[in-house]
Structure 1
Amino acid sequence: MSLLPTDSSRLLIDGKLVSGGGGEFDTVNPATEEVLGAAADANGADMDAAIQAARTAFDSTSWSRDHAFRARCVGQLRDALKADVERLRAVTVAEAGAPVMLTSGPQLEAPIDDLTFAAELAANYTWETDHGEAAPMGMRSHRTVRREAIGVVGAITPWNFPHQINFAKLGPALAAGNTVVLKPAPDTPWCAAEVGRIIAEQTDIPPGVVNIVTSSDHGLGTQLTTDPRVDMVTFTGSTATGKSVMTAAAGTLKKTFLELGGKSASIVLDDADLGGAVGMTAFAVAIHAGQGCALYTRLVVPRAKYAEAVEIAAGTLGGIRAGDPTDPRTVCGPLISERQRARVERYLEIAKAEGGRIVVGGKRPEYQERGWFLEPTLIADVDNSHTVAREEIFGPVLVVIPHDGDDDAVAIANDSPYGLSGQIWGSDPGRIRRVTDAVRSGTLSVNGGVWYSGDVPFGGYKQSGIGREMGVLGFEEYLEAKLVATGL
């Protein structure tokens, strides 16, 4: 029996599951190109109702002040998601094209577990700090700083890791005392709609605290961003769209948290295990068809070992099949849409036109008759000025660039508009420390270290975004600071 939902065409607005004013739109399986079913297609009136519900819930209930109740509700949501995890897994594989092996980690189960950290913060965070007495201008006062919820949060999320990103926003925002309007990507509406169903049917989260609005209309994101009833917008997606969100939010001076693109470098120092460093970097770029903002898509290797590195990377990528995401052996599934595959293919044509060499891959796999698949691809004979070395491709594509020593490798890594993540491979701790100090990015992996976890911050430098998600820093993005001075 299929675990796919038979009735996910519902919005969650003010605690009720309702139909969309715009009717319904199709959600499609990217591995088969088949229509899975229908999702609720919200219109502007639906978004208006969701924003008003969130505003009313924040202004007229004790949600923002009852820390213990919020902790219980977030924990309750975690438990309800775990109880229905097999249905959520089926939806994620079918709708996002996520390889099923990833759903036991960052595509589903890990972000559900991360809600535990958010619930614990709600219960144990220091909400008020005593700053003691002082006499500014000769007037004695006792000062305290309170941390309070910002208010109504508009969350706009992408399709590549829908649960991870949705929960990384919902968990901290709710734990901090905010109410939320979530606008998920139209490519993965069921992933969000199922969470809305679980909230409505299996938790004590009050009406209006969480509202989930699926729609094929990208304009609803702009509506959410510009509405003065919304106090903050948190957006994950492309840098170009992030700039538009920031511009739109400026009209009401609302806070914006932006988690944007990346073109992260994997730096291999000359004392590293070349085979392990290159092989692991190449393998990682094929995960989920390269549809991850923090993947290491530039492999920066010592010039003297360049030819050997290209050979190792080619062997790794050439051995990875773009396959059925329901197969537990699959690492590289389909791209999310025909549009996205065509975008990646355009970059491959640009690479060839600029003198790059497609070493392996670069084609639609002959063994896949349906689905938006692309072979894992390696591009050589480029430098850091080439388009494919500078722009985010969002596909299973790795470029190899030679460096002439540690300083040159750092310069190559930093010569990018992005600064989201990075990776360093080497054996000398002193050299590694100097390189990690010099690379300007929000996260760094050393010799395969894993930086992803709900209790530590994630985010980037430069045009990779503003703010941090997850960890205490991510939780505090959703708080205001209020100083109270009492005369003595």
Structure 2
Amino acid sequence: MSPQDNVSTAVADKQADNATAAGVTKRLLIDGQLLTTERTFASLNPATGELFGHAPEAGVEEAEAAIVAARRAFDTTTWATDVEFRVKCLDQLHQALLDNLEDLRELMMAEVGATRVLTHGNQLEAPIAIVKYYADLLRTYAFSEELGEAEVRGQKHRRWLEKEAAGVVSAITAYNYPVQLALAKLSPALAAGCTVVLKGAPDTPLITLALGELIAEHTDIPAGVVNILSSSEIAPGQVMTTHPDVDVVTFTGSTPVGAQIMAAAAPTMKRVFTELGGKSALIVLDDADLDMTAQFAAFSICSHAGQGCALTTRLLVPRDKHDEIVARVAGFMSHVPFGDPTNPKMYMGPLISEKQRDKVDGLVQRAVENGATLVTGGERVDPGFFYQPTLLSNVDPDSEIAQEEAFGPILAVIPHDGDEHAVQIANNSKYGLSGGVLTADEERGIAIGRRIRTGTFSVNGGNYFTPDVPFGGYKQSGIGREMGVYGLEEFLEVKAFAVAVKE
């Protein structure tokens, strides 16, 4: 049975179950209360295109109420100063996530279109480890630092630094990895002592709201410390990025929206850090194993149907091996199983929406019109929002498909003429999120990586994506870092103290 047949048969079998699940709803979390609204908006199952459930439509009033609650919780409770209590609450949240793992898994497969295999990794189980990481980090993290004494005009002064919670945080996330993105913001913000208003993406509201229900029902986190909203409208996000009571804005999404958020936050001088787009390059050197290269490149671009900002969407290959590598990659791509996300045999699921599928298909069609060769894929597959794994060869490094983020299972193969040329092509991007190199010579690969202007880099498939490693990019891929100690310190302010020493 072909991957396409898997889509048609396995997903069709789920139609009745999907109809039954169409009533799935979740609630907003505002000031410790789980709330509904009179207006709702639909959440679709991207594997079928059918209605899955409804989310509350938060408006300006709900956004303002959440910010007021977060401000009050920060200013009037001991949350910002009681480290031991924060550790306890993060431990509780971690346990609640583990206890409700299977319910979250089912929700994620139905709403996000994440395949079951991905929920065992970066879509669900790996993000849960972020909560534990920050709980453990709090147990040893030093919020003060002695600088010693200094003599100024004959007087000795003792100096030290204290790190304090930055305040109220507005966190806005994208649809592609909603649990990962939410917990990578919530966990360090809470660990730092901040209070948070989190808004999930309109395409995946229910899984984000489910986190709020767990917080309200299974932890001692005080009312107002965490507030979670859902909305299909722009207005709540505008409130979150402009309200004078918000101190920090953290956003994951597209670069154009990130720029708009930075501009909106500028009049009130909010701290803003962002994780934005990417167009990462996988560089294949002339000594690389070609079978390993082909398999790695093919399956990487098909992970979550290419809906990952750090995926290597450009494959840079030695010119004299271009055709051989393309043939091998096409062979592996043709065997990538895609279809019903609940089927454990499926590796790739659907795109999130018909709108996203239209965007992906438009990029492929224009790439071919502009001279790229369509080797395999390039077609929609119904039902749902599936798109075939797609390989384009002989791609111009300056073309749209080589420069613009697609967020789909499209791999663009670009020939290079040696290490120097490959580095130039890789850095020929407004983005700088990630990248990788494949080579038989590890030191050569590391030397290449040091010349690539990106925030993360993989040598021979090395995995940097763990809770203790900071993640973020250069250039238009964003500002700041998430995860690791650096991720905690994004939510801290540094205050310098000095006391005149009595003789």
Tell me if TM exceeds 0.5.
yes
The whole-number CA distance in structure 2 between the counterparts of 1:381 and 1:404 is 13
Aligned: 1:435 with 2:448: yes
Question: Does residue 21 of structure 2 align to residue 8 of structure 1?
Answer: no
Counterpart Cα distance in 2 of 1:146 and 1:5: 51
TM-score, structure 2 as length reference: 0.94
Under a length normalisation based on structure 1, what TM-score does the superposition of the two structures give?
A: 0.97
Match of 1:485 in 2: 498
Which position in structure 2 is the counterpart of 1:43? 59
Which residue number corresponds to residue 207 of structure 1? 223
The answer on whether the counterparts of 1:4 and 1:87 sit within 8 Å (CA) in structure 2 is no
Aligned residues of 2:394 and 2:415 also touching (Cα < 8 A): no
Contact kept, 8 Å, 2:250 with 2:274, in 1: the verdict is yes
Match of 1:68 among 71, 81, 84: 84
2:470 maps to a residue whose letter is P
Aligned to 1:412: 425
Deviation at 1:322, TM superposition (A): 3.1
Q: CA deviation at 1:353?
A: 1.6
How far residue 313 of structure 1 moved from its aligned partner, in angstroms, is 1.1
Asked if 1:153 corresponds to 2:169, the answer is: yes
Q: Is the 8 A contact 1:322 1:374 kept in 2?
A: no
Partner SS, residue 438 of structure 1: coil
Compute the displacement of 1:26 (Å). Answer: 1.1
Which amino acid is the alignment partner of residue 79 of structure 2?
W
CA distance in 1, matches of 2:444, 2:61: 58
The offset of 1:430, in angstroms, is: 3.2
Matched position secondary structure for 2:272: strand
Equivalent position of 1:421 in the other structure:
434
CA RMSD of aligned residues (A): 1.4
Q: How does 1:265-276 map to 2 (within 5 A)?
A: 265-276=281-292
* Among candidates 27, 32, 36, match of residue 43 of structure 2: 27
Choose the corresponding residue for 1:305, options 300, 321, 338: 321
Question: Offset at 1:8?
Answer: 3.2
Show the counterpart of 1:182. Answer: 198
Maintained 8 Å contact 2:446/2:459: no
Does residue 221 in structure 1 map to residue 237 in structure 2?
Answer: yes
Q: Which residue of 2 aligns with 1:91?
A: 107
> 1:128 and 1:139 mapped to 2: Cα distance?
23
Q: Secondary structure at the match of 1:328?
A: coil
Shift of 1:414: 0.5
Counterparts in 2 of 1:46 and 1:284: CA distance versus 1, 3 Å: same
The yes-or-no answer on 1:357 pairing with 2:378 is no
Deviation, 1:137, is: 4.1
Distance in 2, matches of 1:9 and 1:93, equals: 16
Deviation (angstroms), 1:44: 0.4
Give the Cα separation in 2 of the matches to 1:374 and 1:148.
Answer: 47
Aligned partners of 1:412 and 1:213: how far apart in 2?
A: 41
Amino acid of the residue matched to residue 356 of structure 1? A
DSSP-derived class of the 1:245 partner: helix
8 Å Cα contact 1:185/1:214 also seen in 2: yes
Contact 1:8 1:193 in 2 (8 A): no
Distance in 1 between residues matched to 2:360 and 2:487, nearest whole Å: 32
| Structure 2 partner of 1:58 | 74
Kept in 2, the 8 Å contact 1:152–1:230? The answer is yes
- Corresponding residue for 2:9? none
1:436-471, CA deviations, whole angstroms, 9 ceiling, x for partnerless residues?
111111111111111100011100111101001000
Moved more, 176-185 or 211-220: 211-220
- Rounded to whole Å, the distance in 1 between the matches of 2:98 and 2:209 is 16
- For residues 64-83 of structure 1, the C-alpha deviation after alignment (integer angstroms, 9 at most, x for no partner) is 00001001101110100110
Contact conserved, 1:4 with 1:91, CA < 8 A, in 2? no
* Corresponding residue to 1:320 among 336, 341, 348: 336
1:357 offset after TM fit, Å? 1.2
Question: Quick one: which of 165, 179, 189 aligns to 1:173?
Answer: 189
The structural deviation recorded for 1:292 is: 0.3
Matched AA of 1:120:
D
Q: How does 1:332-343 map to 2 (within 5 A)?
A: 332-343=348-359
Q: Provide Cα deviations, 1:16-47, integer angstroms capped at 9, x if missing partner.
A: 00112x51111110111111121111110000
Please give the secondary structure, in 2, of the residue aligned with 1:433. helix
Verify the 8 A CA contact 1:4 1:90 in the aligned structure 2. no
Gaps in structure 1 of 5+ consecutive residues: none
> CA separation in 2, counterparts of 1:95 and 1:464?
27
In 2, Cα distance between equivalents of 1:434 and 1:477: 29
Per the alignment, residue 472 of structure 1 pairs with 485
1:126, distance to aligned residue in structure 2 (A) = 0.4
Residue 375 of structure 1 corresponds to which residue in structure 2? 388
Candidates 462, 470, 473, aligned match of 1:449: 462
Structure 1 equivalent of residue 301 of structure 2: 285
1:239 aligns with 2:255: yes
Which residue does the alignment assign to 1:402? Answer: 415
- CA distance in structure 1 between the partners assigned to 2:32 and 2:250 by the alignment: 22
Give yes or no for contact 1:8–1:194 (8 Å, CA) kept in 2. no
In structure 2, distance between residues paired with 1:348 and 1:430: 36
Please state whether the residue corresponding to 2:268 is helix, strand or coil.
coil
Counterpart-to-counterpart distance in 2, 1:351 and 1:159: 26
| Counterpart-to-counterpart distance in 1, 2:280 and 2:339 | 25
Aligned residues between the structures = 484
Deviations 1:213-254, CA, capped at 9 Å, x for gaps = 111112211110011100000000011111111111101110
How far the C-alpha of 1:140 sits from its partner, in A, is 2.1
Instruction: Return the alpha-carbon distance in structure 2 between the equivalents of residues 124 and 5 of structure 1.
Output: 46
Q: Deviations over 1:344-398 (max 9, x none)?
A: 1110121012111110000013xx3x10110000011212111100000000000
Rounded Cα–Cα distance in structure 2 between residues aligned with 1:6 and 1:65: 42
